[in-house]
Every structure is written in structure tokens, then in C-alpha cells.
A and B are shown apart, each in its own frame.
Chain A
């Protein structure tokens, strides 16, 4: 679009715009009605979690026994809990833990799932059968029962990775959440391994590792990204749920789930305490779901193709 373009001549019809892949995806992404909402919400929630130390008005574990259960006020925006701790500060710090559990657990689950799916899809045969039966098993058995059982075992064995059960919960969520990604990756591999460019690469002497990592996996990145985004939302829900049941993040460390559990025990008298932690879980999961949805639309090969053709 040069300044010297003749008036009335549309520059973009004269010179076809070279749109990058990234540009197309971004344009498709923005078209989703809630994409912007999702990005802004997540930016705020994540920013608040990262900056919790700076913006939290109080120390999240500082007791103030004279000010227990105080209702929301200018001094304590979200009120205080049963030990007089400032709810806003606890929710900010809890967000840090809940978000990092979600992201970490899903990262691990995606890595495990990708590895299993890639092995199953690439090698097929017995490897495929065994791994997929394993995935089926984990998919059919209600996850929360397995999670409770595993958390119980870890606690019983007094195994604790990092403080407050943080590592444990990442571990158990990852161990029970890899199946969806594994299936997606497997299907991509089954499809792609018959393609001609793979045969071509093989004819040049490419080994299995090279084929998997360089030629096939990048092509499966889209579905993995979408499933991973949704997975973070699920992991946050699971973490909160387990903490709500008392088998997740252990007090005094705060997570949205165990703040909610605390509030649940005194709900009859101090109902407002249940509002904020639950709402934070809700809004974060909502934004992540929207993000996953928008990403799926944006990365849809058919839509990208039609965008290129136009």
C-alpha cells in the first residue's frame, strides 16, 4: 500500500498479497466471537498469578484472628477466611498454584501422550494394540476414582514431590490424562505414515526417529495444541476438585480448590466465601475452552485452505 497508489485503484487486487500461514491462522482465530474475551481473560488471570507477590495486598498466610470471617470491605476486598487471612491475597496466590498445576500437568500429559501415540501409530501391530488397550482402560475407568486412589497411595507412602503436594498432583493428573492426546497423535500418524513424502524421505534413508520427529510430528501439531489447551482447563478442574476433596494441594498453601473447600465447611454462616474461588475456576476454564475452540477453528486445514484460495 504505497502512498503513490493512484486513487480509486485497489492496491491489493493489483498485487496479490502474500499472506503467511501465521497470518491466516491469526485472522481465522480472531474471527471466533469469543477469542478476544478468552485472550484478555487469560492474560489478566495469568498476569495476576505471576505478579501475585507484588499486587496481593497482604501475605496470603498471615493470620488475623481478630478479623475472622469479615465480609468484603475496602480493607479486604473479598473478605477474610476462618483464620482472618485475606481472601483476595489467597486467591491471587492460589491462582498461581492452580494455573501452574494445570499447565505443568498438561505439558507432562501431552509429552507422554505424544510419545505413546507416536509409537503406537508409527509401529502399529502389537505395540499399537498394547498401548491402545492401555489408553482404553484409562479412558473407561472414571478418572476421579483413580486419582483419589493414587493420591491416597502417595500420601500413605509419604511420598511428596515438592511442597504441599504440588508435585504429587501434577504427577497423578499427568498419569491419568494422556489418553486423548495419545489417540489424536496415533490417528495423525496412521494417516501420515502412508503419505508419499514419508516414502520419499524413507527412500533417502531416513530412520524411524528422524521420520517421527521431523516429518510426521510437526504435521500433528495443530490437534495436539487444541487438545492441550482443553486439557489445561480439565487439569485445572481436576486439581480444584481433588483439592476440594482434601487430596490435592495441602494447606496452608492456597489453591482455588482448597480455598473453596475451606469455604464449603462454613457455608451455612459465611456464604460469600464460596463465591470468589469458584468463580475464578469457572472463568479460567471458560476462557481456556473458548481459546481451544478458537484455535480449532483457526487451525482447521479446510478453513485455511479456503482462506488461501480466496
Chain B
């Protein structure tokens, strides 16, 4: 196991290097290169040339790449074209909000989907099962961005009779200029979480349902029942544990998709996370920031996958990543 983890950790820098080379080359091959942002204003050719020289854009491309890479290894990803602040600090400041949104949504999604999926499996073909299956198909087909808009519409239609305002705020992570309270944070979280999480609950509840149905018909469940183990313990302890386990791998595979959903959610709800930040940098043609976000996300996704592999091996003792010595 340790050797497996070490090998995976060793692969990480190689992948990162490749990603950064591809992104860097792509950026340089584009006409105008990194200076494209200046090309739309009326900057004189002499000034442009001065900037080119200052940034060393006339040097050979591998020299330029090294000039990006060497400081990058020390945590210096350059400066944002638009804010002039260090990229790393700017990106890291956005990692927190994204993790907060994705992490809390994820926790709720897991609990809900395991409960709903198990319920559906236990009551297979009941009216409740059919109803939830129908809903979950709908949820899986619902675009995050449209669901977000619909939630905003519904929210704005339901007014608090005391204040005449909607119950929930729809922008940002907290009310600005007010000392942070738990209440404020939670009320800002509800709608983005619902928009981001609905589709995932739909997918995973279906997954848990079918995996639970597989497990329920296995011999060890019959044995447990035959031994006289109470039904609720059979379901929750014996069956559910085994049915929910494969979810870890599924979740790890889906992690990148969740980033995508988070990007739309963040844009619609003005959430100050990485997706929103990346989108802004694309709109503003802020190329050091784009590079920075891509590198940071690559690191996060790879670490997430590694974590899932380790967790899975820990949870399921049958999983071994190394060749067994005979």
C-alpha cells in the first residue's frame, strides 16, 4: 500500500509538468500571445514592444517556459494582469469558498442519496420507489444553471410576510459588511447547495438503490436473517455498508464533474470560488491567472483521486493495489 501511494505521488509532478507545458505552449501559440489583453486598447506599438521586452516575450519558448516554471516551483505563479496581485494568493483565496460549497453539498448529497437509495431498494416497486425514480431521472437531466435560475425565481416568489422580502439571499457567501453569523452563512448556502446537489442526489440515489438491491439478494444477508438478526440491523449494518462502499470510487470519478457544476453554481450565485474566478480570468484574458487555476485544480483533482483510492482500500480489505508476492 505504501509503495502504491508513493508511486502515485511520484506520478503527480510528472503529470503537472505535462499539463503546464501543454497549457503554456497553447497560450504562446495563440496570435498576440499573452499580450492579447493589451491589443484591444490603443496601446502604441512602441509601448507594446517595451512590454514584450520587459516580460521577455522575444526569448526562445523553452527559456520563457523555464522562466515561468522555476518561480512556480517555489510557489510564485506570477502576477494577475488585472489586479497586479500574486496569482497564487488570489487562487488560494478562492479554494476555501469552493471547498466550503462543494464539501458541504457533498456531505448532504451522500447522506440523502444513501438514505433515499436504501429506502427505495427496501421498498422496491412501491409507489414511493416509482415516484423517487421518476424524480431522480428528472434531476439527472436538469442543467445546473437552469435549476439555479429556477430556484432563484421560486425563492423570489415566496416572500416573508414580516419583511416583504424573500426568505433566502441569492448572492455571495455572506452578507457583506455585517459581522459573520452562522445563520447568515447557512442561509446563503441553501440555494447554491440545492442547485449543485440535486443532480448528484439523483445520480447517487439511483446508484445506491441498484447496488443495495444486489447486496440484499446475497447469501450473507439471508444468513444474517436466518440467525435472527433484527431486520433494521440487517439493512443498516450488513447491507447498507456494503452497498454504499462502491460509492467512494464513483464519487472520486465524478469529482471533476462536480467542479464543473460548482463553476456554474458559483457564477449564478456570485459565489467567490475558483470556478467563478476562472471564468472571470477567461473573460478578462488574464492569462497568468488561467495558468494558475489550471495548475491548482490539477493538483486538487489528482490528490482527490489518490485519497479516494486509499480510502477505498482502507474500507474494503479485499482491495490490494500491489501485486501479491507468491
Instruction: Please report A residues at the B interface, Cβ cutoff 8 Å.
Output: 34, 137, 139-145, 148-149, 152-153, 156-158, 233, 237, 240-241, 244-247, 260, 264, 267, 271, 274, 278-279, 281-283, 285-286, 289-290
Q: Mark B121-139, 1 if CB is under 8 A from A, else 0.
A: 0000000000000000110
User: Considering the chains assembled together, what is the distance between the CA atoms of A96 and B36 in angstroms?
Assistant: 34
Q: Are A137 and B15 in contact (CB under 8 A)?
A: yes
Q: Are A282 and B143 in contact (CB under 8 A)?
A: yes
Given contacts A142-B257, A142-B297, A157-B30, 13 further A-B contacts (CB under 8 A): A140-B301, A140-B305, A141-B19, A144-B259, A144-B264, A149-B23, A152-B290, A157-B29, A245-B267, A274-B149, A278-B143, A279-B146, A282-B142
User: Considering the chains assembled together, what is the distance between the CA atoms of A140 and B298 in angstroms?
Assistant: 8
User: Considering the chains assembled together, what is the distance between the CA atoms of A267 and B293 in angstroms?
Assistant: 30
Q: List 8 A-B contacts (CB under 8 A).
A: A139-B256, A140-B256, A141-B301, A142-B259, A142-B263, A152-B290, A260-B145, A282-B142
Answer yes or no: B278 CB below 8 A from chain A CBs: yes
Q: B263 touches which one: A144, A156, A283 (CB < 8 A)? A: A144
Residues of B within 8 A of A240 (CB): 143, 145
Q: Which residue of B lies closest to A137 (CB)?
A: B15
Distance in angstroms from B139 CB to nearest chain A CB is 10
Distance in angstroms from B267 CB to nearest chain A CB is 7
Q: Are B150 and A278 in contact (CB under 8 A)?
A: yes
Distance in angstroms from B245 CB to nearest chain A CB is 22
Q: Are A274 and B153 in contact (CB under 8 A)?
A: yes
Q: Are A142 and B31 in contact (CB under 8 A)?
A: no
Q: Are B256 and A241 in contact (CB under 8 A)?
A: no
Residues of B within 8 A of A274 (CB): 146, 149-150, 153
Q: Are A148 and B256 in contact (CB under 8 A)?
A: no
Q: Which residue of B lies closest to A133 (CB)?
A: B15
Q: B256 touches which one: A141, A233, A282 (CB < 8 A)? A: A141
Q: Are B149 and A264 in contact (CB under 8 A)?
A: yes
Answer yes or no: B241 CB below 8 A from chain A CBs: no
Answer yes or no: B224 CB below 8 A from chain A CBs: no
Distance in angstroms from B293 CB to nearest chain A CB is 7
- Listed from nearest, the 6 A-B pairs whose CB atoms lie closest are A278-B146, A286-B141, A142-B259, A144-B260, A142-B256, A285-B141
Residues of A within 8 A of B137 (CB): 34, 286, 289-290
Q: Are A286 and B138 in contact (CB under 8 A)?
A: yes
Q: Which residue of A lies closest to B262 (CB)?
A: A142
Q: Mark B278-295, 1 if CB is under 8 A from A, else 0.
A: 110011010000100110
Instruction: Please report B residues at the A interface, Cβ cutoff 8 Å.
Output: 15, 18-19, 23, 26-27, 29-32, 36, 137-138, 140-143, 145-146, 149-150, 152-153, 156, 253, 256-257, 259-260, 263-264, 267-268, 275, 278-279, 282-283, 285, 290, 293-294, 297-298, 301-302, 305
Distance in angstroms from B292 CB to nearest chain A CB is 12
Q: Are B143 and A237 in contact (CB under 8 A)?
A: yes
Q: A156 touches which one: B19, B23, B278, B285 (CB < 8 A)? A: B285
Residue pairs across A and B with CB atoms within 8 Å: the count is 111
User: Considering the chains assembled together, what is the distance between the CA atoms of A156 and B138 in angstroms?
Assistant: 37
Q: Are A282 and B282 in contact (CB under 8 A)?
A: no
Q: A145 touches which one: B150, B285, B294 (CB < 8 A)? A: B294
Q: Are A157 and B278 in contact (CB under 8 A)?
A: no
Q: Are B259 and A289 in contact (CB under 8 A)?
A: no
Residues of A within 8 A of B264 (CB): 144, 241, 244
Residues of A within 8 A of B18 (CB): 137
Residues of A within 8 A of B290 (CB): 149, 152
The verdict on A289 contacting B140 (CB below 8 Å), with A156-B30, A156-B31 known, is yes
Residues of B within 8 A of A137 (CB): 15, 18-19
User: Considering the chains assembled together, what is the distance between the CA atoms of A244 and B141 in angstroms?
Assistant: 17
Distance in angstroms from B162 CB to nearest chain A CB is 22
User: Considering the chains assembled together, what is the distance between the CA atoms of A274 and B149 in angstroms?
Assistant: 8
For B18, B146, B149, which residue has the most chain A Cβ atoms within 10 angstroms?
B146
User: Considering the chains assembled together, what is the distance between the CA atoms of A290 and B153 in angstroms?
Assistant: 28
Distance in angstroms from A125 CB to nearest chain B CB is 18
User: Considering the chains assembled together, what is the distance between the CA atoms of A278 and B278 in angstroms?
Assistant: 24
Residues of B within 8 A of A264 (CB): 149, 268
Residues of B within 8 A of A153 (CB): 26-27, 30
Q: Which residue of B lies closest to A148 (CB)?
A: B282
User: Considering the chains assembled together, what is the distance between the CA atoms of A152 and B281 in angstroms?
Assistant: 10
Q: Which residue of A lies closest to B31 (CB)?
A: A157
User: Considering the chains assembled together, what is the distance between the CA atoms of A244 and B301 in angstroms?
Assistant: 25
Residues of A within 8 A of B294 (CB): 145, 149
User: Considering the chains assembled together, what is the distance between the CA atoms of A260 and B142 in angstroms?
Assistant: 14
User: Considering the chains assembled together, what is the distance between the CA atoms of A213 and B183 in angstroms?
Assistant: 62
Residues of A within 8 A of B142 (CB): 282
Residues of A within 8 A of B259 (CB): 142, 144-145
Residues of A within 8 A of B285 (CB): 152, 156
Q: Which residue of B lies closest to A267 (CB)?
A: B149
User: Considering the chains assembled together, what is the distance between the CA atoms of A105 and B279 in angstroms?
Assistant: 23
Q: Are A148 and B278 in contact (CB under 8 A)?
A: yes
Q: Which residue of A lies closest to B144 (CB)?
A: A241
Residues of B within 8 A of A34 (CB): 137
User: Considering the chains assembled together, what is the distance between the CA atoms of A244 and B290 in angstroms?
Assistant: 20
Distance in angstroms from A173 CB to nearest chain B CB is 13
User: Considering the chains assembled together, what is the distance between the CA atoms of A160 and B283 in angstroms?
Assistant: 18
User: Considering the chains assembled together, what is the distance between the CA atoms of A147 and B298 in angstroms?
Assistant: 15
User: Considering the chains assembled together, what is the distance between the CA atoms of A274 and B290 in angstroms?
Assistant: 30
User: Considering the chains assembled together, what is the distance between the CA atoms of A122 and B290 in angstroms?
Assistant: 38
Residues of A within 8 A of B145 (CB): 240-241, 244, 260, 278
